[in-house]
């Protein structure tokens, strides 16, 4: 078993076929087939079922996929850390929920890069589950997430709650029952609170699980949506959207760090403090 075979297996799963995997990896289909066969022979298990419509994972393939992603990520991280350019002595690997990049995620990276010229930075975007797995496996050193879950030697640093504010394409847009309202899924707690507040509003015609996509749709097609203030504020300042006098919701967010990594970062407590005060 080798990393190339594991990456080939991941490419097949992600693209849904051996042909597309070969195109993605810029190799022939026969090479992809050979790598898959080598991997299956090494494990003594069939990993994929092939159909005319594509491929499906066998039970063994499903089990391997999670480890394959972790092993591939760790190898990439090891390559990165052992091949740092001259003048750089260490690296901070940062996993960030895509919804938190606008504002606190950027602020964390800026604090690392601007304050520590001898440190490299690697940023990865992922879901809450991805981030948890990456931190637990050592693929990243620190994550910014909405989920306060730790395992082993990790420390949770609560950050100021994120404000979710109702914005619209025009200042006189109705708060309730706006036909162009866009529902943005900000998590379980938000869904419950939103349903209690707008119990008579009905179901929105358009919904997103991404604030950024919802904002782009609002800017292009009009409407209203609950958006994180750090994301929407620049557009509101330019008059492209308008904040409405509606209930404001809060969503908790956290910075979770590997204690092993933080032990060598004398700068980390100060950066956490600045993030906590909005600095």
* C-alpha to C-alpha distance for 194 and 184, rounded to whole angstroms: 10
**Per-residue tokens: 120:** 């490299």
DSSP β-bridge partners for residue 144: 96, 255
Please give the Cα distance from 104 to 272 (Å, whole number): 11
pLDDT of residue 221: 95
pLDDT at 191: 93
Return the pLDDT at 17: 87
Domain 87-160+253-277 superfamily per CATH? Periplasmic binding protein-like II (3.40.190.10)
pLDDT on residue 90: 72
Q: Kindly give the confidence (pLDDT) of every residue in the chain, 279 residues in length, as a single tens digit, with 9 standing for 90 and above.
A: 588 888 888 889 988 888 888 888 888 888 888 888 888 888 898 999 888 778 889 999 998 988 888 887 777 766 666 665 655 557 788 999 999 998 899 999 999 888 777 778 889 898 888 888 888 878 888 999 998 887 778 999 999 999 999 999 999 999 888 889 999 999 999 999 999 998 877 788 899 999 999 999 999 999 999 999 999 999 999 999 999 999 999 999 999 999 988 888 888 999 999 998 764
Question: What's the pLDDT at 38?
Answer: 87
pLDDT at 134: 84
User: 162-250 adopts what CATH topology?
Assistant: D-Maltodextrin-Binding Protein; domain 2 (3.40.190)
Q: Whole-prediction pTM value? A: 0.70
Rounded to 5°, angle at Cα 184 from 178 and 190: 105
CA distances from 155 to 28, 245, 248 (A): 46, 37, 29
CB count within 10 Å of CB 93 equals 23
Work out the number of other CB atoms within 10 angstroms of the CB of residue 89: 9
Render the burial of 165-188: b for 16+ CB within 10 Å, e for the rest.
bbbbbeeebebeebebbbbbebee
Q: Looking at residue 99, what is its pLDDT? A: 92
pLDDT of residue 65: 87
Q: What is the DSSP letter of 266?
A: T
- Within the chain, all domains assigned CATH 3.40.190.10 are found at 87-160+253-277, 162-250
Tell me what pLDDT residue 1 has.
57
Give ranges for CATH 1.10.10.10 in the chain. Answer: 3-79
The pLDDT of residue 139: 81
Beta bridge pairs of residue 260:
none
The answer as to CATH 3.40.50.720 being correct for domain 3-79 is no
Q: What is the pLDDT of residue 216?
A: 97
pLDDT in the model for residue 133: 84
pLDDT for the residue 110:
92
């Amino acid at each position: 078993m080798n990393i190339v075979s594991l990456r080939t297996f991941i490419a097949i799963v992600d693209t849904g076929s051996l042909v597309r995997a070969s195109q993605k990896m810029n190799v022939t289909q026969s090479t992809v087939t050979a790598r898959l066969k080598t991997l299956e022979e090494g494990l003594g298990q069939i990993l994929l079922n092939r159909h005319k419509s594509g491929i499906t994972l066998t039970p063994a393939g499903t089990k391997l996929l999670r480890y394959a992603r972790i092993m591939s990520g760790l190898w990439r991280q090891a390559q990165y850390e052992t091949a740092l350019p001259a003048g750089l002595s260490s690296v901070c690997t940062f996993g960030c929920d895509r919804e938190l990049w606008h504002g606190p995620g950027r602020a964390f990276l800026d604090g690392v890069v601007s304050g520590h010229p001898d440190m490299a930075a690697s940023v990865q975007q992922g879901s809450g589950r991805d981030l948890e797995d990456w931190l637990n496996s050592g693929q990243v050193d620190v994550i910014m997430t909405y989920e306060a879950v730790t395992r082993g030697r990790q420390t949770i640093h609560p950050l100021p709650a994120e404000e979710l504010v109702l914005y619209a394409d025009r200042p006189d847009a109705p708060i309730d029952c706006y036909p162009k309202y866009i529902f943005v899924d900000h998590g379980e707690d938000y869904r419950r609170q939103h349903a209690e507040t707008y119990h008579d509003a009905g179901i929105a015609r358009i919904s997103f699980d991404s604030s950024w996509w919802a904002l782009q749709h609002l800017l292009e097609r009009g409407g209203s949506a609950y958006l994180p203030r750090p994301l929407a504020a620049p557009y509101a300042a330019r008059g492209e959207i308008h904040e409405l006098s509606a209930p404001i919701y809060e969503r908790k967010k956290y910075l979770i760090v590997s204690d092993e990594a933080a032990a060598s970062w004398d700068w980390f407590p100060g950066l956490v403090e600045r993030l906590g005060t909005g600095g």
